[in-house]
Chains A and B, each alone.
Chain A
């Protein structure tokens, strides 16, 4: 992969990614330390929080003077930045604007795999009964029924009609039930999951995975949650998410290759992988290469 070009500073990464907003840090740990070092598209970044609450992100380049990024923001408890020139706003999560919801981050975890693999794993239904046995699934309820996947008008994919039996769908539930799932991928590295709330049938719990592309083969998985306020608190939501993600991580770090193959012949897909197949096709159609094995490259 071509890294940042120090001569003319031209985008080393396709514009659809370079010119978009990406999460680069969680606010809470930054409030304790005041400074965090991270990386986005292989570019080293320093994130600082001043006493007056001002956030700054500086990039450090090969032989270039450090430069403050122009496009930096704080939203949903996360610090966002763009290395390029954003053509659209930070992704909107409408659920976070409902004032009675508990909105919290779930922790940020470094994973030695492409962020695209992490997003795909988040979309995956077939592993729930095995990787998350006793929580998000269990044998013998392993069958994945046909669900619908369609393109979103503004780009991305929407998977609806996913239903799985879960013995413990959230930290609040002491008994299992059939859970309805909706997945929306509206950015290549971001996926939101809406799952049926056990109390309010009309509202859904929202859990989003926001993968920060550190390099092509490494990401930081940030989690954002917005739950209707029934017997929940942010500490147990965070605990539960970290438990679940801790089960996914060793799987993710043992995928070969670490980048997501976009060629449909590279890995065998089945009907249960409908959302994964659509996701890969969509990434290829909008020209995403960073973190992927593009079609024809292998």
Chain B
């Protein structure tokens, strides 16, 4: 599916760190090089299949935990094989690399390898809420959110995006990450100018609401 999905809040994967997520059943390693470049690769070393999310970020390279092969940020090209340190790794030695885009608030991944970068504007001021993992299909979560959020109407922007008001002048946008068929991560962001003093109370309030959304979605999925 040639489509961009949110996979993480931008600040969540810091430079020199490695994380794991899943999109439409595809396991991904998300890692950010020391210089700040974010990578989304198939979570599997092309050598012996070990999850790359077990590995470490070393500067501009990700190092596999099994044989310490190193893969370069951006291209995924293997740069070093310690078993044969004098040899230049072949160009085929790289994991599958997926395009990544950051809009200032979230990191987006497209599973189509040669997808063109989106030409959307950078995200304006706002506040990312805690992303919620739920054992419920995208359709269930969508249906639930369309019934309203905090007693305000929510509208469909597209299949995976919903928007509503969150106490004027703030708006709220929900972005659904299909993890597997029956699992969804709900990313959400309050949009508008928010005072520093307001951030923590807002996060608390919405965290309780989002948790309730998750519980209802899972209850609906269970029956």
Listed in ascending order, the chain B residues whose CB lies under 8 Å from chain A are 27, 43-44, 46-51, 54, 65-68, 81-86, 90, 92-93
- A143 neighbours in B (Cβ, 8 Å): 82-86
A268, B84: Cβ atoms under 8 Å?
Answer: no
Listed in ascending order, the chain A residues whose CB lies under 8 Å from chain B are 124-127, 129-131, 139, 142-144, 250-251, 254-257, 261, 267-272
**What are 26 A-B residue pairs whose CB atoms fall within 8 Å in the complex?**
A127-B66, A127-B67, A130-B65, A130-B66, A131-B66, A139-B82, A142-B85, A143-B82, A144-B83, A250-B54, A251-B50, A251-B54, A251-B65, A254-B50, A254-B51, A254-B54, A255-B49, A255-B51, A256-B43, A256-B51, A257-B49, A267-B46, A267-B49, A268-B90, A268-B92, A270-B47
B84, A272: Cβ atoms under 8 Å?
Answer: yes
Q: Of B50, B67, B90, B92, which one neighbours A255 at CB under 8 angstroms? A: B50
A251, B66: Cβ atoms under 8 Å?
Answer: yes
| CB contact under 8 A between A129 and B54, given known A255-B48, A267-B46, A268-B93 | no
| CB contact under 8 A between A142 and B46, given known A268-B93, A272-B83 | no
Nearest-Cβ distance from residue A254 to partner chain B, whole angstroms: 4
- A267 neighbours in B (Cβ, 8 Å): 46-49
Interchain Cβ contacts within 8 Å, total number: 66
Majority-rule SS of B interface residues: loop
Chain B residue with the shortest CB-CB distance to A125: B83
Chain A residue with the shortest CB-CB distance to B94: A268
| CB contact under 8 A between A256 and B67, given known A126-B82, A143-B85, A270-B83 | no
- B43 neighbours in A (Cβ, 8 Å): 256
B47, A268: Cβ atoms under 8 Å?
Answer: yes
Nearest-Cβ distance from residue A245 to partner chain B, whole angstroms: 15
B27, A270: Cβ atoms under 8 Å?
Answer: no
- A256 neighbours in B (Cβ, 8 Å): 27, 43-44, 49-51
Q: Of A129, A131, A271, which one neighbours B82 at CB under 8 angstroms? A: A129
- A142 neighbours in B (Cβ, 8 Å): 68, 82-83, 85
Chain A residue with the shortest CB-CB distance to B43: A256
B84, A271: Cβ atoms under 8 Å?
Answer: yes
Nearest-Cβ distance from residue A276 to partner chain B, whole angstroms: 8
Cα separation A124 to B49 with both chains bound (whole Å): 14
B50, B67, B68, B86: most-surrounded residue (chain A CB, <10 A): B67
Chain B residue with the shortest CB-CB distance to A258: B49
Q: Of B46, B68, B86, which one neighbours A130 at CB under 8 angstroms? A: B68
Q: Of B46, B47, B84, B93, which one neighbours A144 at CB under 8 angstroms? A: B84
Chain A residue with the shortest CB-CB distance to B65: A251
Cα separation A126 to B150 with both chains bound (whole Å): 56
Nearest-Cβ distance from residue A262 to partner chain B, whole angstroms: 13
Chain B residue with the shortest CB-CB distance to A142: B82
Contacts beyond the supplied A251-B50, A267-B46: 15 A-B pairs with Cβ under 8 Å: A125-B83, A126-B82, A129-B68, A130-B67, A130-B68, A142-B83, A142-B85, A143-B86, A251-B66, A255-B50, A256-B49, A256-B51, A257-B49, A267-B49, A272-B84
- A251 neighbours in B (Cβ, 8 Å): 50, 54, 65-66
Nearest-Cβ distance from residue B41 to partner chain A, whole angstroms: 13
List of 3 A-B pairs having minimum Cβ-Cβ separation, nearest first: A142-B82, A272-B83, A126-B83
B83, A268: Cβ atoms under 8 Å?
Answer: no
